[in-house]
Amino acid sequence: MKGVTQRVYDAFRGRHGEDRRSVRLIDESELQAIYRRQYWDAIKGDSRPASITSFSTAR
């Protein structure tokens, strides 16, 4: 849901010592943490010029 697969969500919850649950129940804070780690940090978004960095969380 919202661009996050069940597999990614399971791994995220496992790293935080939480039980698996349906990705359909993902909350906003988990979603933002996954987006940051899996996508933003992966492209080193904080070190890119704003003029070329685009990241949408549109739904």
Which tens digits make up the pLDDT trace of 14-31?
Answer: 999 999 999 999 999 999
Per the structure, the complete domain to which residue 18 belongs is given by 6-47
Residue at 16 is within a domain = yes
Residue at 22 is within a domain = yes
- Structure confidence at residue 48 (pLDDT): 78
Q: How far is C-alpha 46 from the geometric centre of its chain's CA atoms?
A: 15
How many CA atoms are closer than 13 Å to the CA of 21, on its beta-carbon side? 9
- Residue 23 and residue 8: Cα distance in Å, rounded? 9
Residue at 30 is within a domain = yes
Q: In the predicted model, what is the mean pLDDT of the chain?
A: 86
How many CA atoms are closer than 13 Å to the CA of 12, on its beta-carbon side? 21
> How many separate domains does the chain show?
1
Candidates 32, 28, 34; CA nearest to 10 is 34
